[in-house]
């Protein structure tokens, strides 16, 4: 389930929405050794905006270079005969900076930089860092707080065709330098300037890439193994990992909810969660049944779905309820044989359950087979259409409904 954080902002004439995926676990980041580790992005599709841009990432530095230009986070800038492109970096005793090549009227006018104060970042600590340019102002943010501002009216003099790097300088004509030393996670590039509210809304969760506007590059760095680095942005520019190490250390970790457990506490079904409950009978939602306890008034296969405050959900195993409140019973000679079974099984039917409706469901409550026991004390059931697994046979009459569990091999 997605959590939708709607920001009441109007930009360029339309409303903007940040859609997060807080239930997707953050499993990995990349550790860069400051010597050779880096990620080479395969292409530049969407990564060469000129009018506006946002670059953001989570970083954890193990050491800083002597100057603020010395440690590249995401780099797509170069300088040969002139200046081109942009770079997000941090160095020089914890200074975050964003440097871009400015242009006015299509003519380059040199580097334009915004930087935080010294010590905005410290070693061995995770920080969310971001920088934006909207055509008039360069801004940088540390943990969603504005940390620097530089006025510049113009565009970006873009480094056309130069592929970006995560963790080192992109301009190979100057040698392999300016390596990042430490961890990087959740790298994003946008072709628009995010507001401070948007940065704060999305920094602590994975984003839903399909719901974003202008997210051209998005490297979650969750691949966890090998050299391939997935890009979830609209530009579809995956990367290749060179000598950086996958690590489970991450800045935020959205862990899936533990599975709720349903028990019988007479006369109620009881959820192991005190809040966020919604009870179901089979696949049918029970209106108003949202408390920790639910008193069933009818035979059925019950379950509870729990939703936490971030929108993550978890579903219990089914609980088979009959008039005695037991989860699994055999009454007299009422039984299934053989069990486990293969293509066919026989339902042994005492007089009490003859001419009764039966149904076979999977453990989610989805009904797969229905029938009637008839007048005989044995009823042969064709189960050849069922896959291997555990199934529930429910039998209902006017006095005492029952549920049997059986296995298909």
DSSP state string for 91-128: ETTTEEEEEEEEEETTEEEEEEEEE--TTSS-TT-EEE
Distance of alpha carbon 372 from alpha carbon 302, whole angstroms: 23
- What is the overall mean pLDDT for the chain? 88
Q: Give residue 32's pLDDT band: very low, low, confident or very high (50, 70, 90).
A: very high
**Whether the Cβ atoms of residue 18 and residue 203 lie closer than 8 Å to each other:** no
pLDDT at position 307 over 70? yes
* DSSP structural state of residue 341: B
Give the separation between CA 376 and CA 353, rounded to whole angstroms.
Answer: 10
Cα-based angle 323, 286, 400 (whole degrees, multiple of 5): 15
Spatial neighbors of 339 by CB under 8 A, at least 6 apart, are 345, 406, 407
Over range 48-62, report the average pLDDT: 98
Q: What is the pLDDT of residue 238?
A: 98
> What confidence score (pLDDT) does residue 10 get?
30
Looking at residue 5, its pLDDT comes to: 36
Q: What is the pLDDT of residues 342-378, one digit of tens each?
A: 899 998 888 777 888 888 988 777 889 999 988 888 8
Q: What is the pLDDT of residue 23?
A: 84
Tell me what pLDDT residue 224 has: 96
Top-ranked range on mean pLDDT: pick from 158-167, 168-177, 260-269: 158-167
Are the beta carbons of 244 and 229 closer than 8 angstroms?
A: no
Same fold flag, 3-247 and 335-408:
no
> Would you say residue 112 has pLDDT above 90?
yes
What is the CATH code for 3-247?
2.60.120.200
Q: Residue 297's pLDDT is what?
A: 84
- Give the C-alpha separation, 65 to 181, whole Å: 9
Q: What is the pTM of this model?
A: 0.69
Residue 311 vs residue 93, higher pLDDT:
93
Average pLDDT over residues 147-169: 96
Give the least confident one: 94-103, 155-164, 382-391.
382-391
User: What whole-number distance in Å separates Cα of residue 33 and Cα of residue 181?
Assistant: 5
Q: List pLDDT tens digits, range 203-254.
A: 999 999 999 999 999 999 999 999 999 999 999 999 999 999 999 999 998 7
CA angle 63, 64, 65 (to 5 degrees): 130
* One CATH from 1.10.150.20, 2.60.40.3080, 2.20.25.90, 2.40.160.10 for 335-408: 2.60.40.3080
Measured over the CA atoms of residue 12, residue 96, residue 127 and residue 49, the dihedral's sign is positive
Rounded to whole angstroms, the Cα distance separating 372 from 207 reads 50
39-48, 92-101, 253-262: range with lowest mean pLDDT: 253-262
**Are 174 and 81 within 8 A, CB to CB?**
no
Q: Which residues pair with 281 in a beta bridge?
A: 284, 302
Q: Which helix (H) or strand (E) holds 217?
A: strand 215-219
- Identify which of 129-133, 317-321, 383-387 has the greatest average pLDDT: 129-133
12 or 63: whose pLDDT is higher? 63
* High-pLDDT (> 90) share of the chain, %: 64
Tokens representing 226?
A: 């090998």
Cα–Cα dist 402/320, whole Å:
9
Cβ atoms < 10 Å from Cβ of 288: 9
Label residue 66 exposed, middle or buried (CB < 10 Å: 0-12, 13-18, 19+): exposed
Please give the full DSSP string across 24-45, using - where no structure is assigned. S----EEEEESSS-EEEES--T
* Angstrom distance (rounded) from CA 177 to CA 170: 9
* 361 against 105, higher pLDDT: 105
Range with lowest mean pLDDT among 166-175, 378-387, 398-407: 398-407
Domain boundaries, given as residue ranges, for the chain: 3-247, 262-321, 335-408
Q: Who wins on pLDDT, 174 or 382?
A: 382
Instruction: Report the Cα 47 to chain-centroid distance in Å.
Output: 23
Using pLDDT thresholds of 50, 70 and 90, give the confidence band for residue 6.
very low
């Amino acid at each position: 389930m997605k959590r939708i954080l709607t920001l009441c902002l109007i930009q360029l004439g339309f409303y903007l929405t940040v859609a997060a995926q807080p239930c997707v676990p953050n499993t990995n980041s990349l550790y860069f050794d400051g010597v050779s580790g880096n990620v080479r992005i395969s292409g530049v599709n969407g990564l060469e905006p000129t009018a506006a841009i946002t670059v953001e990432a989570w970083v954890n530095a193990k050491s800083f270079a002597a100057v603020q230009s010395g440690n590249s986070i995401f780099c797509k800038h170069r300088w040969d005969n002139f200046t081109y492109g942009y770079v997000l970096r941090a160095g020089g005793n914890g200074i975050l900076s964003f440097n871009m090549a400015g242009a006015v009227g299509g003519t380059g006018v040199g580097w334009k930089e915004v930087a935080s104060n010294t010590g905005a970042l410290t070693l061995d600590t995770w920080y969310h860092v971001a920088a934006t340019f909207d055509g008039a102002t360069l801004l940088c943010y540390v943990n969603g707080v504005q940390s620097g501002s530089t006025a510049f009216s113009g565009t970006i003099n873009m480094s056309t065709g130069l592929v970006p790097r995560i963790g080192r300088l992109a301009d190979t004509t100057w040698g392999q330098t300016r390596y990042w030393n430490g961890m990087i996670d959740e790298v994003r590039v946008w072709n628009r300037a995010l507001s401070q509210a948007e940065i704060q809304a999305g920094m602590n969760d994975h984003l839903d890439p399909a719901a974003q506007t202008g997210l051209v590059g998005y490297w979650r760095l969750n691949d966890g193994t090998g050299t391939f680095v997935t890009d979830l942005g609209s530009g579809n520019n995956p990367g290749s990992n060179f000598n950086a190490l996958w690590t489970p250390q991450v800045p935020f970790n959205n862990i899936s909810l533990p599975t709720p457990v349903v028990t019988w506490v007479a006369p109620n079904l009881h959820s192991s969660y005190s809040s966020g409950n919604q009870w179901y009978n089979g696949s049918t939602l029970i209106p108003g049944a949202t408390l920790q306890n639910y008193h069933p008034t009818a035979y059925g296969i019950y379950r509870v779905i729990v939703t936490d405050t971030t929108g993550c959900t978890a579903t219990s195993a089914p609980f088979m309820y009959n008039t005695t409140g037991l989860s699994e019973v055999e009454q007299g000679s009422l039984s299934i044989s053989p069990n486990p079974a293969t293509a066919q099984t026989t339902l042994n039917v005492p007089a009490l359950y003859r001419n009764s409706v039966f149904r076979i469901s999977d453990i989610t409550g989805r009904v797969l087979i229905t029938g009637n026991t008839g007048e005989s004390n044995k009823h042969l059931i064709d189960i050849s259409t069922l896959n291997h697994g555990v199934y529930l046979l429910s039998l209902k009459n006017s006095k005492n409904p029952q549920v049997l569990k059986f296995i298909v091999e």
